[in-house]
Amino acid sequence: MSLVSLLGLTTSMNFLYCMACSLDATATLVSFPLKVARCPPSMSGVQSTPNTLTERQFLEREMMNLGDCILRRERLAESLPVNLEEFEELGRHIAEAKVEIAKQIRRVEDPWVSDGLQRFYLVMIGNMPNRDGTMP
Per-residue pLDDT reduced to its tens digit, 80-116: 888 889 899 999 999 999 999 999 999 998 899 999 9
Q: How far apart are the first and last CA of the chain?
A: 40
pLDDT tens for each residue of 106-129: 999 889 999 999 999 999 998 988
Q: pLDDT band for 2, please (50, 70, 90 cuts).
A: very low
Q: Give yes or no for residue 1 having a pLDDT over 80.
A: no
120 CB-side CA count, 13 A: 31
Q: Quote the CA–CA distance of 79 and 69 in Å, as a whole number.
A: 15
pTM of the model: 0.58
Q: Between vectors from CA 120 to CA 46 and to CA 21, what angle results, nearest 5°?
A: 140
Spatial separation of the C-alpha atoms in residues 5 and 9, rounded to whole Å:
6
Beta strands in the chain, from DSSP E residues, in sequence order: none
Measured CA to CA, the distance from residue 92 to residue 9 in angstroms comes to 33
